Amino acid sequence: MNGRPLPPSRDLRLVHVDARERQSVVSLRGASGPSFGGKELAICAGPCAVESYEQIVATAAAVAGAGANVLRGGAYKPRTSPYSFQGLGRDGLAMMREAADLYGLAVVTEVLDPRDAAIVAESADMLQIGARNMQNTALLRAVGETGKPVLLKRGLAATVDEWLLAAEYIALTGNEQIVLCERGIRSFDPSTRNLLDLSVVPLLARRTHLPAIVDPSHGTGIAALVAPMGLAAVAAGAAGIMVEVHPDPASAVSDGMQSLTFAEFESFMESMPAVAAAVGRSLPKRFAGATLNAPPPS
């Protein structure tokens, strides 16, 4: 070690900023659906885990009403303890799809096992690779091969180069619909769950043509810090945000501490347009073809 930073990897062939003439835009559900990297932000919101039909429908109604365009939620959960709730699996996928369709939302959900990639791709619009699996190369190939857009979260202690090389694995399958998601990295300081690295947002724009979003929920682990860091992420140039929202955070089976109530999410979204406008962006409009099939609960 001579203390100098490693030179950027020469193996970033497909995802390198110079590999494309302009920054990529990744769209879900066709060109009129939610997009990552365009003028409109992608607002992904929903519970950490799908817990019940009632929970996911109520959350879909609330986040759609507040301005989100993508419903997030885990049906397969990567829990630290094998004794913790592992997710509702296929039932959870079906519940999330139905809830999203009721309110005109796209769906992003995590895939944990290469054997589930095709099943998840049948019902979701975007497949999430969680932080713990960022370097699971078999899983990266499997999600890439589904042809569906992929949300690639940054590993718990991954360098930017390692993260971009993971994206390169997906791109090598012929699927370049990849969005990066900064969700905080391990640090020495337990004051926050992770250390949210917002400097990667403008850094990534210089290294890759892929769009990047920020998850201030896992990035901080503290509900009160989610809105300020979400606004800061947009100010730094993020193409969108991913936020955990729950009808009753205190009773959430996972990540309640960092989950926003419906009212907190709504007031966060109310403060977003001014910050977005300062960097030439706007909140998403409801996408064409999306119909609100049911009124949000009062």
Residues 136-165 contacting ligand PEP, CB under 6 A: 153
Residues 263-292, one symbol each (x = binds ligand PEP by CB under 6 A, - = not), give: ------------------------------
Cα-Cα-Cα-Cα dihedral sign, residues 93, 269, 208, 158: negative
Q: Which two tokens stand for residue 7?
A: 């030179």
> Please, what is the angle between helix 160-171 and helix 200-207, to 10°?
50
- Which helix (H) or strand (E) segment holds residue 275: the answer is helix 262-278
Residues 73-112 contacting ligand PEP, CB under 6 A: 74, 78
Which range binds ligand PEP by CB under 6 A, 2-10, 82-90, 124-132, 203-211?
124-132
Closest CB to ligand PEP among residues 14, 238: 238
Strands 42-46 and 240-244, by their bridges, are: parallel
CB of 89 to Mn ion, least distance (A): 17
CB–CB of 149/125 below 8 Å?
yes
Alpha carbons 204 and 211: distance in angstroms, whole number? 8
Query: Using the 8-state DSSP alphabet, how is residue 108 labeled?
Result: E
Residues 34-93 contacting Mn ion, CB under 5 A: 48
Closest CB to ligand PEP among residues 84, 291: 84
- Residue from 110, 116, 255, 264 touching Mn ion (CB under 5 A): that is 255
When asked if residue 247 is in the footprint of ligand PEP (CB under 6 A), the reply is no
Q: Residue 151 — φ and ψ, nearest 5°?
A: -105, 115
- Residue from 148, 183, 207, 246 touching ligand PEP (CB under 6 A): that is 183
Q: Which residue is nearest to Mn ion (CB)?
A: 48
Q: Which residues bind Mn ion (CB under 5 A)?
A: 48, 255
